[in-house]
Chain A
Amino acid sequence: MIGFPLFPEQASTVAGSVDLMYFILTAITVFFSTLIFVLIFYFAVKYRRRRPDEIPPPMHGALRLELAWSILPLFIALSLFAGGTAIYFRNVAIPPGAMEIYVVGKQWMWKLQHPEGPREINELHVPIGQAVKLTMTSEDVIHSFYVPAFRVKMDVIPGRYTSLWFQPTKPGRYHLFCAEYCGTNHSAMKGWVHVMEQVDYNNWLGGGATGESMSQAGERLFNQLGCLTCHRATAPGRGPVLEGLYGSTVHLQSGETVVADEAYIRESILRPQARIVAGYRTQMPTFQGQISEEGLLQLIAYIKSLAPKERIDTAQ
C-alpha cells in the first residue's frame, strides 16, 4: 500500500480553481448538514414525549420562515452556479498556441501522437508550463480521458472529435484513467502522463522520433490514397484547393457556410456527400472504412499544415 492520500495532487493551472469551488461546496455542505443534524438532535431531546397522552400545541406554518428558507438557498444555489460556471468557462477555453496532441481511444488502450511524430501508447509525455491541447476520437465505443491531478476529463467519442486542454505545473507522473465504462478491460485502460522539464522533453522528443512528423505521414497518405488526383496545390482540379482550408469559411452548395475545423475535414473525407462545397459536384468518393482514425488525424494534420497559397475562393 503506498500511502493513504485524502486529497489529489494539484498539477495543472486549473486544479486550484476547481479545488476552491470544491472547498466552498464542502463548507456549505458541512454547514447545512450540521445545522440539520443539530436541530434534529436538539428538538428530539428537548421535545421528547414526557407523558403518553401529551398533545403538543398545534401550530401552522409561517410564511415568513418559508420564504426565508426558500430564498436563502436559492440565493446560495445561484451564487454557486455563477461561480462554478465562470470557473468552468475559463477552465475549458483553449488558449491560442497550445501544443497539439492527437488521441485515439480504443478498447482498451490510449494511442497518442505528437505532431513531431512520436507515438505513444498509454503514456503521454508533455513539457511543464506548456498548454497542451488534445484532439480526441475513438475507434470503437465511448471512452473518457481523465487525469485527476489536472482535474480534467472529456469523453472520447467515436465518429467525432472532442478536445481538452491542460497546462501542467509540476513535474511528475500522473494517473491517466478511462472514466467512461467501455467494456471488459475498462479498468485496465489507464496509463501515465509524464510531466517533464522542457529540456528533458526535447531530449525525449529527439530520442523517440520516428523521423516522420504527423503531417509528413499525412502527406504520404494523401499521395497514396490518390487525393492528389483531384486536390491540386494551386489551381482547383476536380476538387477544391486544400491549401489554407483549415480555419477558413467554406461556402456550401446549400447556401450555408461552415468553418473548416477538424470535424468538417473529417466529414469531408468520410462522407463527402454530407456537405458539398459550392461550385463542385459530388465526385469525391467516400473513404469510410479505408483510413484508420490515426490516418485521418494525420491527413488532417497535413491539411492543417498546408499554408494558404493563392487560394481560389470557392464562392463564385
Chain B
Amino acid sequence: MSTVSEPIAGTKVHYLNADYGIKSWLLTTDHKRIALLYLAGITFFFFIGGAFAVLMRLELVTPQGDMMQPETYNKMFTMHGVMMIFFFLIPSIPAVLGNFLVPMMIGARDLAFPKINLLSWYIAMIGGAFTLYAVVAGGVDTGWTFYTPYSSTYSNTHVIATAVGVFISGFSSILTGLNFIVTIHKMRAPGMTWFRLPLFIWAHYATSIIQVLGTPVVAITILLVGLERGFNIGIFDPELGGDPILFQHLFWFYSHPAVYIMILPGMGVISELVTCFARKKIFGYAFVAGSSVAIAVLGFLVWGHHMFVSGQSVYSGMVFSVLSFLVAIPSAIKVFNWTATLYKGSIVYMTPMLYAFGFIGLFTIGGLTGLFLATLAVDVHVHDTYFVVAHFHYIMVGGAIMAYLGGIHYWWPKISGKLYPEGWARLSAGILFIGFNLTFFPQFILGYLGMPRRYHAYPEEFQVLNVMSSAGASILGVGYLIPMIYLVWSMRYGRPSPPNPWGSAGLEWKTPSPPPTFNFDKTPVITEDPYIYSHDEEVEVG
C-alpha cells in the first residue's frame, strides 16, 4: 500500500506529489488517485468505443454497404455499445468524479473501504481486458443487448469472452456502489446531516442503490447466456424448451435502471454547476434530492417498455407504459428546478456552465422524446428504429457525457491543481453542442421515416439525413479531441489554480487544490446547508 510521506516544511504536499513511481499509483488506496486511474482507463475505452462509432458513420455515408462487410459492421455497433455502456458510461461519473468527490463533499478522509475501491478498479480493468481480447480475437456481433437465441445459439463470434468481460466488470460496479452507500451512511463529517448533503451526493446515493440491486441481475443473465452457449441447457433456446423472451425481461430489468446509473450522477453534477455559476442556492433542494430517489425506485418498474412489440400482453404493455410516463415526472421536476435556480442569479458563462446549459437543453429533448416511446401507439412504429437511437443518444451523449465533461472541467483545478485554457474550452463546448445536434437530430426524422437501427445498408431515400448525421459525427469527434489535448497540456503547462477558483460554496473547495492525501487537515464541522452564497434573509418566490 502507498506510504504517505510526511509533509516537508516549505513544499506543498498533496495527493499527487505525496509519493512517486508507478507502484505508488497501482497500489494506492487514495480515492483521488483511484479516481485518476479510472479516468485514464475509461478515457481509453471511450476513444476505442468512439473509433467504432466513426467507422460506422463512415459506412453509413452511402446507402450501399460498401466500406465493410456486414459482419464487420455488426461487430462495430456491438463493440461501440459494449465499450461505451459497460466500460465508459456506467463507470464515468461515479467512478471518476464520484470517487474523487464523494469523500471530499461529505468531509471524509477516504471512502469506507479504500482497498475495495482499488480492487474495483482492477476488476473493471480485467473486465475491460477480456472484452478487448474479444475485440482483438475477432469481435462479437450480438449487439450490446445480447438478445437470445441469437447470442446463445446462433452467433459464431466471441460472445463468451465478451460476456465474461461484462460479467466481471459488473462486480466493479457493485463494489463501487456498496462503497458509496456505506461511506455516505457512515462517514459524514460532524454536522453533515442528510439534508445538508450536496445534491451530487444524493444522486450518487441513488445511483449506488441501483448498482447494488440491479447489476447482479444482469450478471446472472449474462452468465446464463454463457452457460446456454457452452452447455445447451435450454433456458433461452425454444428448441430446448427455453424462452428467448425471458432473456429480455432479465436483461432490461437491469439495463433500464442502468440508464439511470448513467444519467443520475450527471444530474448530480448539473446541480453543482448551476448553483456555483449562478451563485445561488439550489431551488427546491428537497425536490431535486427526492426526485433522484424516486427515479431510482421507479426506474426498476419500467423495463417492459422495451418489449411492447415482443408479444407481451397488451395489458402488461399498458402497465409498463403508465409507469414509464410516471418516471418522466421526477426528471421534469429537476429541469424546472435547475432553470428556476438561474432566476435572479449572478450568472457567468464559464465552460462548466456552458456544459450545464447544454445538458439541460439536450436532456429536455431526450426526456421528452422518451414520451414518444412510452406511448404504446407510437412505440409500435418507432421501436427499434433510429428514433430510439436518437433518443438515447440525447440522454447518454447529450446528457451524461455533457455532464461528465462539465464536471471534469469544473473540478479539473481541484483534481490537477491547474487551470485549463478557458478559450479553447468554450470553443470545444460549442463545437460539441453543434456536432451533437447535427449528428443526432436527423436520426429522429430517420426513425420516424422507418429506418431500422443496426442496418449496415439502407434504402436510398434515407441518404441525405444519414450524410448529415455522419458530418455531425466528424464535428463531434473533433469536439472530443480538443479537451483531451488541452487538459493533458494543462497538467504540465496550465496556470496553477487557487484553492477555489470559482468561488464555490462546496466543501470540496475548502481544501487546497490539489487536496492533501487525507483531503482535510482537520475534519471539517458542517454548520449550514449546502450552496449558501449569502447569509441575507431568504426571499420567498412564487
Chain A residues close to B by CB (< 8 Å): 1-8, 17-18, 21-22, 25, 28-29, 32-33, 36-37, 39-40, 43-44, 47-50, 54-66, 69-70, 73-74, 77-78, 80-81, 83-85, 87-89, 91-92, 107, 140-142, 144, 146, 148-149, 151-155, 157-160, 162, 175, 177-188, 271, 288
Contact = CB atoms under 8 A, between A and B. Distances in A.
B147 A181 contact: yes
B539 A57 contact: yes
Given A1-B460, A44-B349, A62-B541, 8 more contacts: A58-B537, A65-B340, A80-B375, A107-B154, A141-B153, A148-B449, A157-B310, A181-B143
A85 B318 contact: yes
- Max chain B Cβ within 10 angstroms of own Cβ: one of A61, A69, A81, A175: A61
A85 B284 contact: no
B149 interface: yes
A104 B209 CA distance: 43
A43 B317 contact: no
- The secondary-structure label for the interface of chain A is mixed
Given A21-B377, A186-B74, A33 B361 contact: yes
A140 B154 contact: yes
Nearest to A54: B346
Nearest to B464: A4
20 contacts: A17-B377, A18-B381, A40-B339, A47-B344, A48-B348, A58-B535, A59-B344, A69-B336, A70-B332, A77-B371, A85-B377, A142-B147, A142-B310, A146-B452, A148-B450, A152-B380, A181-B454, A183-B74, A183-B155, A188-B70
Contacts of B318: 85
Contacts of B524: none
Given A47-B278, A80-B371, A55 B346 contact: yes
A36 B374 CA distance: 22
Interface string B434-474: 00000000000100111011111111110111000000000
B321 interface: yes
Contacts of B332: 69-70, 73
B540 interface: yes
Interface of B: 65, 70-71, 74, 141, 143, 145, 147, 149-150, 153-155, 238-239, 241, 243-245, 278-281, 283-287, 309-311, 314, 317-318, 321-322, 325-326, 328-329, 332-333, 335-337, 339-340, 342-349, 357, 360-361, 364-365, 368-369, 371-372, 374-378, 380-381, 383-385, 445, 448-450, 452-461, 463-465, 532-542
Contacts of B335: 36
Contacts of B238: 157-160
A127 B447 CA distance: 27
Contacts, number: 302
Given A32-B364, A159-B239, A87 B377 contact: yes
B284 A2 contact: no
Nearest to B150: A141
B342 A44 contact: yes
Given A21-B375, A66-B333, A60 B538 contact: yes
B250 to A, nearest CB: 15
A132 to B, nearest CB: 16
A144 B380 CA distance: 11
A6 B450 CA distance: 11
B378 A22 contact: yes
Contacts of A183: 74, 141, 150, 154-155
Given A22-B372, A61-B283, A77-B329, A40 B342 contact: yes
A8 B449 contact: yes
Nearest to A136: B311
Contact of B534 (A57, A91, A184): A57
Contacts of A177: 450, 452
B81 to A, nearest CB: 11
A156 B143 CA distance: 18
A155 B375 contact: no
Contacts of B310: 142, 155, 157
Contact of A55 (B285, B372, B458, B534): B534
Report, nearest first, the 4 A-B pairs whose CB atoms are least far apart. Answer: A148-B450, A159-B238, A62-B542, A84-B375
Contacts of A55: 279, 346, 533-534
A56 B534 contact: yes
Contacts of B365: 29, 33
A144 B361 CA distance: 34
A7 B449 contact: yes
Contact of B540 (A4, A49, A59, A77): A59
A84 B369 CA distance: 14
Contacts of B445: 6
A88 B377 contact: yes
A44 B369 CA distance: 25
Nearest to A20: B377
Contact of B383 (A40, A88, A153, A182): A153
Contacts of B450: 8, 146, 148-149, 175, 177
Contacts of A154: 309, 311
B533 A6 contact: no
B448 A47 contact: no
B385 A179 contact: yes
B541 A65 contact: yes
Nearest to B456: A187
Contacts of A56: 278-280, 344-346, 533-534
Contacts of B372: 22, 25, 29
Contact of A43 (B241, B343, B383, B460): B343
Contacts of B384: 144, 146, 153, 179-181
A184 B336 contact: no
